[in-house]
Amino acid sequence: MCLAIPARVTRIEAEKAWVTVGGVEREASLVLTPEAKIGDYVILHAGFAIQVLDPKDAEETLKLIEEISESA
């Protein structure tokens, strides 16, 4: 099973970004989403930002993921 999750872009250098997910910073490729800017939410999958996401949708998804993890 594959999982793609919302992550917030905190820093960009060329085609590389640093994103935060649950307080953890990770490196991500922006090759597929060159339009992403600092502060944007992106869908992160296997180290690649595959889509820029609406902030409201990202926050709702992150809330649902948190609720699921708390009930497990």
Query: Between 67 and 11, whose confidence is greater?
Result: 11
Average pLDDT over residues 10-16: 96
Question: Residue 12 maps to which CATH number?
Answer: 2.30.30.140
- Cβ neighbours for 30, distance < 8 A, ≥ 6 positions apart: 12, 15, 16, 17, 36, 49
Q: How far is CA 57 from the centre of its chain?
A: 12
| Whether pLDDT at 65 is above 90 | no
Predicted pLDDT at 1: 58
Contact 7, 13 (CB under 8 A): no
Specify the amino acid at residue 21: V
Domain count, the chain: 1
What is the residue range of 34's domain?
5-71
